[in-house]
């Protein structure tokens, strides 16, 4: 068995979480109770944990978001098209960051019904996922 990432996150409405993650993003549903929904999120286990109240929205994409790094530009493009076809609103529209540089990557952000932010990206150079330590560009300056 390979290593799998696990993340639990707040969800004020598990039915809305199901519609967003399963029906719109195409993830696979796992077990469900009145308290939680397990989701196969691109091969990783995430769990929508029921909370009583809707979380407040953060301003911008920092400090908290999660997502996936897709293996190919074609996969990123296909997911972007699926998001558009399902009528989901981009929190941050698709764009290329650091174009023409070692850290070049394609990215877009979504916001789930409980205000959790998700990033979907593809790096033009796979070494940039963990490497290029000599480059200090990480995140955005304004938070």
Structural domain harbouring 33 = 6-129
For residue range 20-56, list pLDDT tens digits in order. 999 999 999 999 999 999 999 999 999 999 999 988 8
Give the model's pLDDT for residue 140. 61
For the chain, what is the domain count? 1
Residue 107 lies in a domain: yes
1 found inside a domain: no
Q: What is the pLDDT of residue 38?
A: 98
For residue 136, what pLDDT is reported? 57
**141, part of any domain:** no
Q: How far apart are CA 92 and CA 143, in angstroms?
A: 15
pTM of the complete model: 0.89
Q: How far is CA 82 from its chain centroid?
A: 14
The CATH number assigned to the domain holding 44 equals 3.10.180.10
d(CA 143, CA 130) in angstroms, rounded, equals: 23
Q: What is the pLDDT at residue 137? A: 61
Tell me what pLDDT residue 142 has. 44
Q: Is 40 a domain residue?
A: yes
Query: What are 91-139's pLDDT values in tens digits?
Result: 999 999 999 988 999 999 999 999 999 999 999 999 888 876 666 565 6
Is 109:90 a contact under the CB 8 Å cutoff? yes
């Amino acid at each position: 068995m390979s290593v799998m990432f696990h993340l639990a996150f707040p969800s004020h409405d598990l039915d809305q979480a199901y519609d967003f993650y399963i029906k719109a993003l195409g993830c696979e549903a796992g077990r469900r109770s009145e308290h939680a929904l397990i989701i196969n999120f691109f091969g990783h286990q995430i769990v929508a944990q029921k909370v009583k109240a809707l979380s407040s929205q953060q301003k911008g994409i920092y400090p908290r978001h999660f997502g996936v790094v897709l293996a190919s530009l074609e996969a990123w493009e296909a997911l972007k098209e699926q998001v558009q076809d399902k009528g989901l609103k981009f929190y941050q529209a698709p764009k290329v960051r650091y174009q023409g540089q070692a850290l070049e990557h394609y990215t877009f952000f979504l916001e789930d019904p409980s205000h959790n932010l998700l990033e979907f990206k593809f790096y033009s150079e796979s070494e940039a996922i963990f490497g290029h330590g000599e480059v200090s560009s990480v995140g955005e300056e304004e938070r």
